[in-house]
Amino acid sequence: MLTFVAYRSRTTSIADFTVAVACIPTVLLVGIRLGPDADRLLMFHSPSLAFFIAAGLVTEILCTAIWIALAAVITRWHHLRRQELLGTRADKKAEWGRHMDDAISYAEAVRAKGADTSHRKKPWILWVVETRFWNEEKRSSFLKSAAGREGAVQMLQRLKVVALTIADNLELDEDADQPLFKKPSRAIDMKLTERKVAEALMAQSSMTEERAAKVAREWVIIFVMDWNTLQPLAAS
């Protein structure tokens, strides 16, 4: 009953709720199983073979079957959720790595050939970076200056490290109501991802806690947010 109440208030997962529900037939079967034991204890004689099989052996087999099936279903449920998380991290790492490599290649072309890149489409991440570092005083992009073009490549290389760190530390929503028998499809948990990314940045570099948290907060939303719906990206 406590698990049922917790599930209704969405503080427990459907897997835990299923375990609680499985207790209902199990308790009934165990109650039936007490029949032969009561007969043996109260009547001081062994129950008949038919009574023992019907009320004892069959109920034990059913209880065992219920819990084996339950273990298999829940193990599969957790396995699929784990595979979804690992698959999402691998897919986003490859996808964001390609985007960053394209942006770095574009910036290198601009550095080598000036601003003549009309034959190429500017990568989306460069639009984001230019917006963030727009020179209000000169009303121009940092790519217009030689120093800006030189620094852009290094900036994007550092940003690639951040992007891959985000991909490696993506976390998905718990979604406690996820069906047991369907392939999971959860959104990325941005808050938890930010915290994991900040911890990873502090561990792999000399960033302070405040700086790592700021970098994670600024760039997780750039890579994780679906700009069409303004919602965190789905895992699949």
DSSP class of 45:
S
Handedness of CA 112, 114, 118, 120 (dihedral sign): positive
Q: Is the pLDDT of residue 208 over 70?
A: yes
Average pLDDT, the chain: 78
**Full-model pTM:** 0.70
Q: Is the pLDDT of residue 181 over 70?
A: yes
Taking the domains of the chain in order of start, what are their residue ranges? 2-232
Question: What phi, psi does 231 have (nearest 5°)?
Answer: -125, 160
Closest CA to 173 of 163, 182, 185: 185
Task: Tell me the pLDDT tens digit for each residue of 214-236.
Answer: 999 989 988 887 644 445 565 55
Angle at 71 between CA 69 and CA 77, to 5 degrees: 105
| Predicted pLDDT of residue 168 | 95
Number of other residues whose CB lies within 10 A of the CB of residue 76: 12
Task: Tell me the pLDDT tens digit for each residue of 112-166.
Answer: 765 556 677 778 887 777 777 655 444 456 666 666 677 778 888 989 999 999 9
